[in-house]
């Protein structure tokens, strides 16, 4: 009985090494994204990401690449100068 096909674990959500915000390209300061361990505590767990911000994330990166604080809406937007 040599039919022992190795089953790849699929469907497991794994953090991509994506230290950059997919929206603006700035460092997202996301700890799990840097170390690849989703159990790592991060600021992004304490904030509510704006739905409109998530909607702008490319589907391929959604739930994988973390937004930066600014794009996530965690910080008050700077007053427009000019």
Task: Quickly list DSSP for 24-82.
Answer: T-SB---HHHHHS-TTS--GGGTSPPPHHHHHTS-TTTTTTSPPPHHHHT-SPPPPPP-
Q: Which is nearer to Zn ion, 26 or 40 (CB)?
A: 26
| Residue 33 engages Zn ion in binding (rule: CB under 5 A) | no
Q: Which of 24, 27, 36, 75 binds Zn ion (CB under 5 A)?
A: 24
Q: Is 21 in the site for Zn ion (CB under 5 A)?
A: yes
Residue 30 touching Zn ion (CB under 5 A):
no
Residues forming contacts to Zn ion in the complex (CB under 5 A) are: 21, 23-24, 68, 71
């Amino acid at each position: 009985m040599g039919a022992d096909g190795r089953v790849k674990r699929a469907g497991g959500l794994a953090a991509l090494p994506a230290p950059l915000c997919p929206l603006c390209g700035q460092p997202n300061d996301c700890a799990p994204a840097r170390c690849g361990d989703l159990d790592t505590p991060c600021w992004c767990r304490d904030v509510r990401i704006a739905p409109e911000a998530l909607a702008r994330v490319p589907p391929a990166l959604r739930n994988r690449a973390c937004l930066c604080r600014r794009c996530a809406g965690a910080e008050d937007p700077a007053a427009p100068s000019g």
